[in-house]
Amino acid sequence: MKNKESNTERAKTATVKSSVFLTDKQREEIKARLEKIFGEKIAVVNEIEKKLLGGFTVQLGDWYLDASLSLDLHKIKEALS
């Protein structure tokens, strides 16, 4: 019996954390951009993280993107200090 898909054909999984659930359109847009960046199939899992306040973060293996309001507020605080 053959496996349904080989390891090279499996999509990598990106975890997107946001303060609210993403819409299907938002999830598909993030998925498309990640696939363009990495040149391979990406599955997107959305998790709620209330402390983000707004925006989102993306974790894909060792790669991390922080596009959250929390980060923006931290940068403003640092700039005013």
The string of pLDDT tens digits covering residues 59-77 is: 999 999 999 888 778 888 8
In a domain, 44, yes or no: yes
Domain containing residue 32: 12-80
At residue 75, the pLDDT reads 83
At residue 10, the pLDDT reads 73
Cα 57 to Cα 3, 5, 17: the distances in Å are: 33, 29, 5
At residue 5, the pLDDT reads 46
In a domain, 36, yes or no: yes
In a domain, 1, yes or no: no
In a domain, 3, yes or no: no
In a domain, 26, yes or no: yes
Number of domains in the chain: 1
Quickly count: other Cβ atoms within 10 Å of residue 76's Cβ.
10
- pLDDT, tens digit (0-9, with 9 covering 90-100), for 5-38: 444 457 799 999 999 999 999 999 999 999 999 9
